Amino acid sequence: MLKQYLETGKIVGTHGVKGMVRVQPWSDSGEFLTEFKHFYLDSNGEKRLEALKIQPHGGVVLMALKGIETIEEAEKLRNKVLFINRDDAKLPEGRYFIDDLIGCLVYDADSGKTYGTVSDISKTGANDVWHITDSGKEYLLPAIDEVVISVAPENGKVVIRPMKGIFDDED
């Protein structure tokens, strides 16, 4: 089952003296966070924050939050993880949340063989690399169009056509 509230970043510090916070975004870019008005401090959506201003700034995002008006109030939020509501997000076709991919079973497009599950995703400069785990072994799979055939996180399924040499039993 897909999670309703997804981790999207972490408050890593303050900015200025008027209560702004610095957020390390856990997305492809800080611009993604500018699409949201509400953030949450828990995975149940119970502790809601309202963003008044969101601005990418280098590798972080500066955020002004309603009710947080001093550096002391902002400092209390340091190291808190921010969540977004899935219903507020608009992803382009073919883009997925990492949380949705973790745990998906990975199948071969031609044979139907199961390779394992997606256990982690690494961000590299060129493309993401999916960590596929099976019986304690880990394989690294480039997340490129030639390899990833279809993704259905709502069904917990990924279909691939692996490059030769990724899995031990290939020629």
Domain boundaries, the chain: 5-87, 98-160
Global model pTM greater than 0.85:
no
What averages of pLDDT result for each successive group of 10 residues across the chain (171 residues)? Answer: 90 93 90 94 94 93 96 96 94 84 94 94 86 93 93 93 78 46
Per-residue confidence (pLDDT) for residue 96, from 0 to 100: 85
Per-residue confidence (pLDDT) for residue 171, from 0 to 100: 46
- Burial category of 103 from C-beta neighbours within 10 Å (exposed 0-12, middle 13-18, buried 19 and up): exposed
- Yes or no: is domain 98-160 CATH 3.40.710.10? no
CATH class name, domain 5-87: mainly beta
Per-residue confidence (pLDDT) for residue 169, from 0 to 100: 58
Give, in order, the Cα–Cα distances in Å from 167 to each of 33, 101, 104, 156: 37, 20, 17, 21
